[in-house]
Amino acid sequence: MHFKSSTYLLFILPFLGFCQDQGGPWSLYFENDSYRITISQKTFIDSIQEYSLQLTDSIVLKGYASSPADSTYNLKLSERRANSVKKQFQGYTTIIANGFGELEGDEDENRRVDIMTWPVYQEKSDKRLRQN
């Protein structure tokens, strides 16, 4: 498994939700020709959900593949990767998962799913706000 994270990232992850409106992007890296979620990836996803998300947040997942196979196969593989990550985020209001196929460059870096989140703000029912 090729998983890029560090103890530092796991340490600061709880604080990311307090620092910015958009969460992430975080990236999950996959083995060649694989879309299976590993135990360490599941743990990482769980920590994102626990410390950085609310059920009303919007989640965007972007899957990618490296270029050794043909472009049609890579598009399907990138979609499978995005959808396998999507299954880990069940219960959220808005989840968009898309595959974008192959990328040129470092093959290890390109076999990934990027995770981005945005909070969905609820309209406040405070009467003072409606007086304007």
In this structure, are residues 67 and 102 in contact, taking their beta carbons and an 8 Å threshold?
A: yes
In this structure, are residues 32 and 111 in contact, taking their beta carbons and an 8 Å threshold?
A: yes
What is the pLDDT at residue 103?
Answer: 81
- At 76-99, the pLDDT tens digits run 999 999 999 999 998 888 899 999
What is the pLDDT at residue 121?
Answer: 64
This model's pTM is above 0.85: no
Residue stretches of the chain with pLDDT short of 50: 1-20, 125-132
Which residues are CB-neighbours of 3 under 8 A, at least 6 positions away? 28, 29, 38, 40, 41, 44
99's enclosing H/E stretch is strand 94-102
- At 1-14, the pLDDT tens digits run 444 443 333 433 44
